[in-house]
Structure 1
Amino acid sequence: MTRPPDPLELPRLHRPPRLVATDLDGTLVRSDGTVSPYTREVLLELDRRDVPVVFVTGRPLRWAADVFEHVGAHGLAIISNGALVWDVTGDRAVLERPIQPSLGLEVCAALRAAVPGTAYAVETVRGIELEPSFMERYQVPDAVRRAPVEELFDGPALKLLARHEELGPQEFWDVAEEVTGGRLVITWSSTTTLLEISGPEVTKASTLELLCAERGIEAADVIAFGDMPNDLPMLGWAGTSYAMADAHHTVTELADHVAPGHDEDGVARVLAGVFGL
């Protein structure tokens, strides 16, 4: 295995981590949307050593599948900010933590009353469905359903997306937090004003904790990587946490350590050092 130059200062751990949890965009995945050959090599070596690498992402299932080939033989990924645990090998959901329609619609009405111009989209295992006024920044299937949120929210949803074209992300988040009063979990991982809303107490951390508990793995045995506010709960829970060099300032302030940037194979370089690859 060829290691990049510039050795890192690594934490002195009492024992090697038993599980790696990593965000994707801005963390493991490069700016061009790829996973580098070096990173892939490190992940495969950890899999050979029976160290599971769990992808913990805000991506919906349809986007997370683009990198499933790198997840390893254990085949698990946490999707949609903790709302879904997906068995990659079996191509099926093993855990769903959705928003129920009654609560989701109540929050939608309250937020739109507080911030006129709010537009919504709903994510399910089937895919995304949008209000006509929701301006999607990425291509969606041609046949995607478009209707008022009252029609879209006809069953449990993995994630509710709220977008505003005038407010900044922090301002929109502050209002949404006040309006929802903690009934749902709100965060963002986008550079645009797009809030990602999950079910009660559903975060990357709470679902990762459930996954680890089933395997007898404690928080102290987990090393985690992230770059945006939706990673904060996971980084706070893990025994060892890394912010990427180009992470949001709140992530850098919380994390134990800072890794090189995502375009510099930061996750892989840290893991190669920690595990002595």
Structure 2
Amino acid sequence: MSTPKLVATDLDGTLVRADGSVSDFTRDVLVKLEEMGVPVIFVTGRPLRWTRVLFEHIGSVGLAIVSNGALVWDVATDQPRLTRLIEPTLTAEVVAALKANVPGLVFATETLEGWSGEPAFAPHVSGTLEPAKRVAPIEELAEESLIKLLGRRHEDDDADELLAAAVAVVGDRVNVTHSSFPLLEISAPGVTKASTLELVCTELGISAADVIAFGDMPNDLPMLTWAGTSYAMADAHPSVTACASHVAPGHEDDGVARVLAGVFGL
């Protein structure tokens, strides 16, 4: 393959270790790519507040794609470069359809100001969420445009089965995915990691063929399909392994950095 001109990488389960850290080796590789003039774009399902802790590793391109493509954040100016929001009317339609057909779902919302949720909504891992901005019925929370709509039911739900049930109800009216937990992550129609990455790459004058991308979960599938070169992590979801053109070592073994060191001759 020709040498890529841009690196697009997921964070959790991909670039970042299980404890949330970035290893010294990975940090060194990112610095060397920056010195070579190769942009590295973080493309994550994380909300903005969980991505800020990694902004120190963002190079001169200064952009992060967060919330599965719903937000492009300009790190240098600390403001949004692009928002791709779910409008209130559509949110109301989707919530009503899911409540009628996937019993037991409870909802939360994500905006630039933080997350809000219904009283029954709880963190998918106890203790990982800061206090909600608002606690109210979803019909009230959905009266503003949203970065992301979240839906959950039981901690022991199968994530793939819950996703399939939701997609069967809403179709392509919105984009629905998950990133390992039984938590529905719902974005505006057509909003994926890939579609927003394509917008950023077009602005930079870089084609899909010149992008190398890394991921591990279903929310990475559009990006891995779009990029000219794609890597699933060694412990990726089976659908990701089947989709990607290559497999990288696991995230605990600095898989992204090791592949990049080889590809760029570092």
TM-score normalised according to structure 1 size: 0.93
How many percent of aligned residue pairs carry the same amino acid?
62
SS at match of 1:236: helix
- In 1, Cα distance between equivalents of 2:169 and 2:61: 40
**Structure 1 residue 141, shift from structure 2 partner:** 3.0
Residues in 2 aligned to 1:245 and 1:171: alpha-carbon distance in whole angstroms: 23
State the alpha-carbon separation in 2 of the partners of residues 53 and 262 from structure 1: 17
Equivalent positions of 1:1-277 (< 5 A) are: 13=1, 15-136=2-123, 137=125, 138-142=127-131, 144-165=133-154, 167-190=157-180, 192-277=181-266
Partner residue of 1:10?
none
Task: Tell me the alpha carbon deviations over residues 62-119 of structure 1, each in whole angstroms, 9 at most, x when there is no partner.
Answer: 0011111111122100000000000011101000001001101110111011122101
Q: CA RMSD in A?
A: 1.1
Q: State the alpha-carbon separation in 2 of the partners of residues 247 and 168 from structure 1.
A: 16
Offset of residue 144 of structure 1: 2.7
Q: 1:130 offset after TM fit, Å? A: 0.8
Q: Report the AA paired with residue 219 of structure 1.
A: A
- AA paired with 2:8? A
Between the aligned partners of 1:47 and 1:88, the Cα distance in structure 2 is: 15
1:8 is aligned to none
Equivalent residues of 2:116, 2:132 under 8 A apart: no
* Worse-superposed segment, 161-170 or 265-274: 161-170
- Cα distance, 1:143 vs structure 2: 5.7
User: What is the alpha-carbon distance in structure 2 between the residues aligned to residue 167 and residue 32 of structure 1?
Assistant: 24
The amino acid across from 2:14 in the alignment is: T
Shift of 1:154: 2.1
Distance 2:161 2:237 in 1: 16
Partner Cα separation in structure 2 for residue 81 and residue 143 of structure 1: 20
Distance in 1 of aligned mates of 2:8 and 2:194: 10
Once the two structures are TM-superposed, the CA of residue 173 in structure 1 deviates from its matched residue by 1.2
TM-score (norm 2): 0.96
Q: Distance in 2 between matches of 1:70 and 1:187?
A: 27
Q: How far apart in 1 are the matches of 2:131 and 2:227?
A: 40
- Structure 2 unmatched ranges of 5 or more: none
Distance in 1 between the 2:164 and 2:200 partners?
30
Q: State the alpha-carbon separation in 1 of the partners of residues 220 and 129 from structure 2.
A: 25
Q: 1:174 to 1:142 in 2, by over 3 A?
A: closer
Superposed displacement of residue 153, structure 1 = 1.2
Aligned partner of residue 213 in structure 1, secondary structure: helix
User: What amino acid does structure 2 have at the position aligned with 1:185?
Assistant: N
